[in-house]
């Protein structure tokens, strides 16, 4: 037996080397906190992806559209967040936020598309 420090409340307690918490309550609240941080992180990213998808959907109501990068940025589109990529045989790379995708045509020009089936 040696003095341990609870990683939740910081209290000293007697316990084996592998014990991290002074009591069950501290273990539970430590786990809950970890989970809520992870949930918050995932929620933020999901919100960004959802917003990106909504922007693409709004700008592409018919399934095919051409928009400028400026338009996308003005709406708050974040280019570093997407759900998957699709490379064509000809070497073009589509990026998708769920079923809504885009392809860069020129430095300030994007083609918008919709995919019905999921692709990895």
Kindly state whether residue 4 participates in binding Zn ion, applying the rule CB under 5 A. no
Kindly state whether residue 22 participates in binding Zn ion, applying the rule CB under 5 A. yes
User: Phi/psi of residue 66, each to 5°?
Assistant: -125, 125
Site size for Zn ion (CB under 5 A): 6
Q: In the complex with Zn ion, which residue's Cβ is closer, 11 or 74?
A: 11
Instruction: Choose the binding region for Zn ion from 23-31, 35-43, 72-80, 111-119 (rule: CB under 5 A).
Output: 23-31
Location of structure tokens 């083609």: 111
Kindly state whether residue 26 participates in binding Zn ion, applying the rule CB under 5 A. yes
Structure tokens at 115: 């995919």
Q: Find residue 110's DSSP bridge partners.
A: 67, 104
DSSP one-letter code for 32:
H
Kindly state whether residue 8 participates in binding Zn ion, applying the rule CB under 5 A. yes
Q: In the complex with Zn ion, which residue's Cβ is closer, 32 or 46?
A: 32
Kindly state whether residue 19 participates in binding Zn ion, applying the rule CB under 5 A. no
Residue 47 CB contacts under 8 Å (≥ 6 apart), including other chains? none
Structure tokens at 51: 């917003």
Considering only residues 60-119, where is the footprint of Zn ion by CB under 5 A? none
Between CA 118 and CA 120 the distance in angstroms is: 7
Q: Residue numbers of the site for Zn ion (CB under 5 A)? A: 6, 8-9, 11, 22, 26
């Amino acid at each position: 037996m040696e003095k341990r420090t609870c990683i939740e409340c910081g209290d000293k307690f007697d316990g084996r080397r592998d014990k991290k918490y002074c009591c069950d309550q501290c273990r539970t609240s430590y786990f809950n906190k970890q989970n809520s941080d992870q949930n918050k992180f995932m929620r933020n990213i999901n919100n960004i992806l959802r917003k990106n998808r909504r922007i693409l959907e709004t700008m592409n109501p018919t399934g095919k559209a051409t928009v400028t990068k400026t338009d996308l940025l003005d709406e708050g589109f974040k280019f570093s967040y997407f759900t998957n990529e699709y490379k064509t045989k000809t070497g073009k790379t589509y990026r998708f936020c769920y079923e809504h995708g885009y392809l860069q045509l020129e430095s300030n020009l994007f083609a918008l598309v919709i995919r019905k089936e999921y692709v990895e």
